[in-house]
Amino acid sequence: MIYDVSVWAIIIFLVFVAVVLGLSFYFGSRTKSASSYYAAGGTIHWGVNGIAFAGDYLSAASFLGICGMIAYAGYDGFLYSIGYLAGWVVALFLVAEPLKRLGKYTFTDALDSKFNSRGIKLTASISTLIVSIFYLIPQMVGAGDLVVPLLGLPHWAGVVIVGAIVIYIVATAGMTSTTYVQFIKGGLLITFSVILTIYILNNGFNLNPNENYHKFENISARIEGDQVVSTSNEKYQIVSQHQVGANTFVKLTADNINTWFKVEKVSDTLANLTEALNITSTSDGVTLYNGAPKSEKRFYQVGHFQKIIHNGVEVQETGPVGPFKFLSIMENSEVVLFKKVIFDDGDDKVTAFYQKPTKGSSILKPGLLLKVGKDSKLWDKINFLSLMIALFFGTSALPHILIRYYTVPSQRAARKSTIVAIVAIGFFYILTLYMGLGAMVNGVNDLESSNMSGPLLAKSFGIGIFSIISAIAFATVLGTVSGLIVASSGAIAHDFVDKYLKVEMTDIQKVRAGKFAAFGVGILAIILGILFKGMNVSFLVGLAFAVAASANLPSILMVIFWKKTTARGIASSIVVGIVSAVTIILLSPSMFERYGLPKADAIVPFDNPAIISMPLSFIVLVVVSLMTQKKKS
């Protein structure tokens, strides 16, 4: 899509980002010594620290990804909200306090606290790096998506801009997101999400989302057999027709513009043609959006009701609604969702987005994306189960979350911080249901990327709130990306080069090694952020959770709870967890689609690896530990 760039939006955005970055540099420059690095944790109230937790945790995946997924697939996106939040229960009840009693503050050191093993140092540092990279990809994708409507630049430019800023920040100032900055970001994100939700409820529902909303054409056609032979609109000429699975599409042309329509047979001689959107890649390398270059803005924003049922009556609009009425009306009404299908039209490759009126009762339960329910296959159910396992166990295995847990000195304050975080994060996730559903029906969705639903919804309510929410999301991405790059460069320079390889380095050399590592990881993040354009960021983070849950969690839990855990058991478990999780992901249907291959040809028939890789990692840890017990003399 092409967006109209607003100068005011850019100004507000830049001012906001400058303030947040300025605060980051200011507080970052004050943390010179080891004790002062954690000093903020020593003096910060548990309530402030709890909101800082939320600011740290709620990355692009939460705001952009979940809202986007709900906007496109309803309740299936909300499953991510439920799973992400449930993961904090695992962290609070099982991991946090026992790990804190080990007295260590990074994932690597915690695992190695009883063993002093080179194997653990090596595998844990690699695991930190891989999990961080998997977590980095969606942040970079989200950053690129944010910049597109703001600056009117292509996605890759947004990724490069964010990558360059973060590399500069980390390489020069070594910024890590401080408790104060995360508190500000977390508080602002939740506050403006509340404001956006109030806008949505106050706006109510309307069959016509806005005055500029595209009026999708419906025309009658005469058919012979299955072939469309003429249409009721004389301006259109029939060009071609394709059967794609159970659906039939016909290409009509008028005024040199090709438009695709979906054919719905009404009788043996009549059919309805409903307008679809399409992106066509022609054989001579040109990409057309609904038959014209992108600059002609024919690829419209979408999202509207088919019918609205309010108090049992079909209405045109509802006026303001309360939060429970909002959900109840959604459930009783019918929304037009857009489904994607890809096919060849001669030498052209066509991606068509056709309208699919969907009952609200289907939108507000699982099944539109994750394919559970009576028509689902075994692998669909396994995929659903695997995703819910990954989300539940992933949070407590993320290295950059574990370390933030210990920025307060007492266990009681740490507990209270976590509970404040759970309340804040949980409240935000409930708001995502309203923001996502609001985006679904307010005509704002960009079918090229689901990640922008939240900010574009804000844009429909005003440039001011759009700019501020985009700036908050952008600052969140900057903070998360810089934190991940610092963690990754630390895993390389400190854990791997210094501790594992035992390369002798002066302090200056160590700092330089860290900066080189940060530069390398940053470049890799840019490349991957461009390659994964268009993928929903919450889905990508779900994969990061699966890798973390498989590689890290078995080791963490067994170090805490099982005395027979050995160093080799831990190292083997991490390796098996990483290899199995990453292998399954690379051979999954979603990745095959990314490779340009049919999803049905994927070697592994499900996307999320946790159901296989996590139990496998546990089994390996137990077996290897039992085999490598120290003999008692």
Partner 1 sequence: MLHEPAAELGVDHASKRKTRLGIILFLVYAAIYAVFVIIGVLYTDLFGVKAIGNLNLAVVYGMGLIVLAALMGFIYNLMCSRMEDQMNGGAKI
Report how far residue 250's alpha carbon sits from residue 60's, in angstroms, rounded to the nearest whole number: 38
Rg (CA), the chain: 26
Which C-beta is closer to partner 1: that of 421 or that of 584? 421
* Nearer CB in complex with partner 1: 25/379: 379
Strand, helix or coil for residue 453? helix
Q: From residue 628, give the alpha-carbon distance in Å to each of 123, 136, 620.
A: 17, 36, 12
Q: What is the dihedral of CA 388, 393, 395, 399, to 10 degrees?
A: -140
The residue among 98 and 520 lying less far from partner 1, judged by its C-beta, is: 98
Shortest distance in whole angstroms from residue 74 CB to partner 1: 10
Using alpha carbons, list the distances in angstroms from residue 281 to 186, 286, 288, 352, 525.
Answer: 41, 6, 6, 11, 27
Find out whether 201 and 302 touch, Cβ atoms under 8 Å.
no
Helix (H, G, I), strand (E, B), or coil: what is residue 154? coil
**Per the structure block, which two tokens stand in for 565?**
């855990």
Residues 521/139, Cβ–Cβ less than 8 Å: no
Q: Which residues of this chain interact with partner 1, rule CB under 8 A?
A: 34, 37-38, 41-42, 75, 78-79, 81-82, 85-86, 88-90, 92-94, 97-98, 100-101, 103-106, 109, 324, 327-328, 331-332, 361-362, 364-367, 372-374, 376, 381, 384-385, 388, 392, 403, 406-412, 415-416, 418-419, 422-423, 426, 429-430, 433, 486-487, 490-491, 494
Nearer to partner 1, 38 or 516 (CB): 38
Nearer to partner 1, 106 or 278 (CB): 106
Q: Shortest Cβ distance from residue 444 to partner 1 (Å)? A: 23
List the Cα angle 335/341/343 in 5-degree steps: 155
Cβ-based nearer residue to partner 1, 47 or 152: 47
The string of DSSP codes covering 458-523 is HHHH-HHHHHHHHHHHHHHHHHHHHHHHHHHHHIIIIIIIIIIS-----HHHHHHHHHHHHHHHHH
Nearest distance from C-beta of residue 39 to partner 1, angstroms: 8
- Residue 187 CB coordination number (10 Å): 17
CB of 98 or CB of 204, closer to partner 1: 98
Nearer to partner 1, 365 or 515 (CB): 365
Least distance (Å) between residue 631 CB and partner 1: 29
Closest approach of partner 1 to the CB of residue 365, in Å:
4
Nearer to partner 1 by Cβ, of 275 and 607: the residue is 607
Which is nearer to partner 1, 31 or 247 (by Cβ)?
31
Take residue 493 and report the two structure tokens written for it: 């320079």
Tell me the two tokens of residue 233.
């609109």
Least Cβ distance, residue 92 to partner 1 (angstroms): 6
**CB of 274: closest distance to partner 1 in angstroms?**
26
* Per-residue DSSP letter, 535: S
Angstrom distances, CA of residue 457 to CA of 164, 226, 313, 556: 28, 40, 27, 41
Nearer to partner 1, 143 or 433 (CB): 433
Q: Which is nearer to partner 1, 433 or 582 (CB)?
A: 433
Q: State the nearest-atom distance from the C-beta of 246 to partner 1, in Å.
A: 21
User: E strand or H helix at 380, and its extent?
Assistant: helix 378-394
Q: How many helices (H) and strands (E) does the chain have?
A: 25, 12
Q: Taking a C-beta distance cutoff of 8 angstroms, is the pair 263, 273 a contact?
A: yes
Determine contact, residues 386/606, Cβ cutoff 8 Å. Answer: yes
Q: How far is the CB of 126 from partner 1 (least distance, A)?
A: 15
Instruction: Find out whether 54 and 425 touch, Cβ atoms under 8 Å.
Output: yes
Nearest distance from C-beta of residue 113 to partner 1, angstroms: 10
Nearest distance from C-beta of residue 355 to partner 1, angstroms: 23
Least Cβ distance, residue 487 to partner 1 (angstroms): 6
Smallest distance, partner 1 to C-beta of residue 219, A: 34
Cβ nearer to partner 1, comparing 181 with 402: 402
Q: What b-and-e string marks burial along 252-285, b requiring 16 or more CB atoms within 10 Å of the CB?
A: beeeeebbbbbbeeeeeeebebbbbbbbbeeeee
